[in-house]
Amino acid sequence: MKALAYDADAEVVDASDAPASIEGAATADERHQVVLDKEVRAHVGRARRQLIQVNVGRLAVFAAFIGFWQWSSDRLVDRLFVSDPLSVARAFRDLVTDDDFFFHLRFTLSEVGAGYGLGVGLGLTCALALSFSHVAQRIFHPFLIIFYSIPKVALAPLIIMWFGLGMKSKVLLAMAFVFFVVFMNTLAGINAVSKDLVNVSRVMGVNRRQLIRKIILPSAFPYIVMSLHITVPLAMVGAILGEFLAGNRGIGYLINAASNQYNSARVFAGIIVVLMIVLVMSSAIGLVEKRVLRWRPESTRTSF
Amino acid sequence: MLRNVQKAFVTGRGRDRRAALAVQDVSLEIQPGEFVSFIGPSGCGKSTVLNMLAGLERASAGEVRQGASPIDRVNTNVGYMTQDDNLLPWRTLARNVEFPLEIRGVPRRTRAAEARRILAQVGLERYGDYYPHQLSGGMRKRGALVRTLLADDPVILMDEPFGPLDAQNRRMLQDQLLHLWSNSGKTIVFVTHEHDGLAAVRPFVTHDLVEAVTLSDRIVVFTSAPGTIKRVHTVDLPRPRDVFRIHETPGFDEIYNPVWDDLREEIAKVASVERQAS
């Protein structure tokens, strides 16, 4: 089996010792090697061609979108509202070279980071705490559903009232968005752990701590990682929402201020900054996922 | 080991709620080092009895003991295998096999060496670094089997362990199981695959019964629900047994036929109940 395995990502195939054709091969082993090498080359070629197709396609879609935007501005719609890509690019440059841009950026990043971290931590802890008691799960279930059903946006004014205009209220908002998703997913993951597996492990003699650390958490990990992915943009929603509503700091505040001045190019520039933050955070989590979930078969991975 | 054991289950809700006995008056003494198989129609409670031995279920009445000590909590002095291989998918085969040693705090080096040694006994020495999803069903089962053996419990409980495998792989695993078990002094309690009512009208030989005859010192035939022990058959075929040609062993039919008669009677009962129900 090992001899037949090959690395799909391998760029270079070591075939230097092997004869180039079946006719040139002396032994059966060499003949087999020729077939294997050919198959690997074909596979690498296919993968490379597909990658090129995908990237060209993506570029084309993006270019078409930008082109249409530039063309339609002032032809189909008023430039005042939609701006145009060139103006947005200029506004983006102006925005990030502003003296106080990094002050605002740091503010938003801290809110998102703290809200995300707290939400994830609290979600995991609560899910673990509830996972041991069927009764506790049944007691809390309706309340959780009620809290989950409240649009978190509607909570924002209250939270700002309670915790002020500063960073605290924004962190809490971001946390509220993150907490439930992590909590619900983790609990679902823990409840989905194979009963058989738990029983076999208990008979093997695992204690409670080992059961959590070595069986339950790793089993639930795919669920947990999925929730970590989903909640990155949600944390951003919480922070930006808070900045829209109150205070005079953060990227959300900059976007809101620009929109009040009908400076749509600057609004788009702000949105691009937000987008970039979310993308960077998402890919960081994607990297962690790739490391931690190495053991999973290719086809079941969630990232793309 | 088991004396007058009963197990009741409550089914239905509200007005329809009633308790039914799944296991009734089961008494059985299993000797150390013995290989005992449970066989019977589906729903006869043989898995329930096994779970009581594992301490995963409590008897409603009666006594379940291992040696002198009553089994009143999860029994960590036995090994337990089910139909699923229950390998941890995030661990390589070798790390799975050493798992029972790991939770006992055996040092890393020692347990890795132990895992390597026992994997070699079932021809898996080259696959230690593979993850379970990279292995075939039969290989995973062999891994699960040696993991259970490496834990070195005096008793091993197996609940339809070879159920999902094809005939060829089953035979191989039976052969390896017998090989690993012989001279080990371990007691094995083995529940064979479920028989549904349809088996009575299917005329062919059941693999499960052949499996029981091949492996066991004694075969315990359970009645249909509520499960009681119908009869205990002794299998006195000489060991070591040839798993692949067990049919040709002199005396095979004399053991196989009476067990099959008992089993068929019980399966027929289940079939007639199912017919009435439908």
Q: What is the pLDDT of residue A299?
A: 53
Domain boundary among B130, B152, B174: B152
CB contact under 8 A, B84 and A218: no
A199 in B contact zone (CB under 8 Å): yes
* CA of A294 vs chain B CAs: smallest distance (Å): 8
| B83 is a domain residue | no
pLDDT tens-digit map of A54-98: 999 999 999 999 999 999 988 888 888 888 899 999 999 999 898
CB contact under 8 A, A296 and B56: no
Q: What is the pLDDT of residue A6?
A: 45
Strands (E), B29-135: 35-39, 61-66, 69-70, 78-81
Contact between residue B96 and residue B147 where contact means Cβ atoms under 8 Å apart: yes
Asked if B169 and B198 sit in the same domain, the reply is yes
The third-level CATH classification (topology) of the domain covering A85-300 is MetI-like fold (1.10.3720)
CATH at residue B181: 3.40.50.300
| B269 is a domain residue | yes
Q: Is the pLDDT score of A301 beyond 70?
A: no
Q: What is the pLDDT of residue A272?
A: 94
Amino acid at A120: V
Q: What is the pLDDT of residue B276?
A: 79
Contact between residue B38 and residue B52 where contact means Cβ atoms under 8 Å apart: no
Asked if B128 and B147 sit in the same domain, the reply is yes
Q: What is the pLDDT of residue A300?
A: 52
Q: Minimal Cα distance from B82: which residue of A?
A: A196
pLDDT tens-digit map of A192-222: 999 999 999 999 999 988 998 899 989 999 8
Asked if B182 and B253 sit in the same domain, the reply is yes
Distances in whole angstroms, Cα of residue B39 to Cα of each of A172, B156, B157, B191, B217: 60, 17, 14, 6, 13
| B173 is a domain residue | yes
Asked if B162 and B139 sit in the same domain, the reply is no
The CA-CA-CA angle for residues A197, A199, A201, to 5°, reads 70
Asked if B97 and B57 sit in the same domain, the reply is no
Asked if B158 and B20 sit in the same domain, the reply is yes
Contact between residue B141 and residue B162 where contact means Cβ atoms under 8 Å apart: yes
Q: What is the pLDDT of residue A256?
A: 92
| B82 is a domain residue | no
Low-confidence residues of chain B, pLDDT below 50? Answer: 197, 203-205
Residue in the block written with tokens 């309690």? B189
Asked if B23 and B126 sit in the same domain, the reply is no
Q: What is the pLDDT of residue A148?
A: 84
Asked if B48 and B175 sit in the same domain, the reply is yes
Please tell me what DSSP assigns to residue B234.
E
For residues A278 and A177, what is the distance between their CA atoms, to the nearest angstrom? 15
Asked if B257 and B236 sit in the same domain, the reply is yes
* CA of A290 vs chain B CAs: smallest distance (Å): 13
Q: What is the pLDDT of residue A9?
A: 45
Higher pLDDT, B37 or A11: B37
Domain boundary among B137, B152, B167: B152
CB contact under 8 A, A204 and B76: yes
Percent of chain A with pLDDT over 90: 56
Please tell me what DSSP assigns to residue A87.
H
Contact between residue A44 and residue A10 where contact means Cβ atoms under 8 Å apart: yes
Asked if B191 and B267 sit in the same domain, the reply is yes
A213 in B contact zone (CB under 8 Å): no
For residues A250 and A258, what is the distance between their CA atoms, to the nearest angstrom? 13
Residue range of the domain that includes B114: 89-152
pLDDT tens-digit map of A227-239: 999 999 999 999 9
Q: What is the pLDDT of residue A304?
A: 43
Q: What is the pLDDT of residue A2?
A: 40
Q: What is the pLDDT of residue B225?
A: 75
With 0-12 / 13-18 / 19 or more C-beta atoms within 10 angstroms meaning exposed / middle / buried, residue A182 is buried
Q: What is the mean pLDDT of residues A112-140?
A: 92
- The CA dihedral of A259, A260, A266, A267, to the nearest 10 degrees, is -20
B133 in A contact zone (CB under 8 Å): yes
Q: What is the pLDDT of residue B222?
A: 87
pLDDT band at A169 (very low <50, low <70, confident <90, very high): very high
Q: Does the predicted interface ipTM exceed a cut of 0.95?
A: no
CB contact under 8 A, A204 and B127: no
Q: What is the pLDDT of residue B206?
A: 62
Pairing of strands B218-222, B229-234: antiparallel
Residues 6+ apart with CB under 8 A from A257: none
Residue in the block written with tokens 């249909």? B224
Q: What is the pLDDT of residue B70?
A: 85
Assign residue B45 a region: left if phi > 0, alpha if psi is -120 to 50, beta otherwise? left
Instruction: Name every chain B residue with its beta carbon within 8 A of the beta carbon of A296.
Output: 89-90, 133
Asked if B169 and B218 sit in the same domain, the reply is yes
Distances in whole angstroms, Cα of residue A57 to Cα of each of A51, A60, A61, A69: 10, 5, 6, 18
Asked if B122 and B213 sit in the same domain, the reply is no
Counting the structural domains of chain B, the total is 2
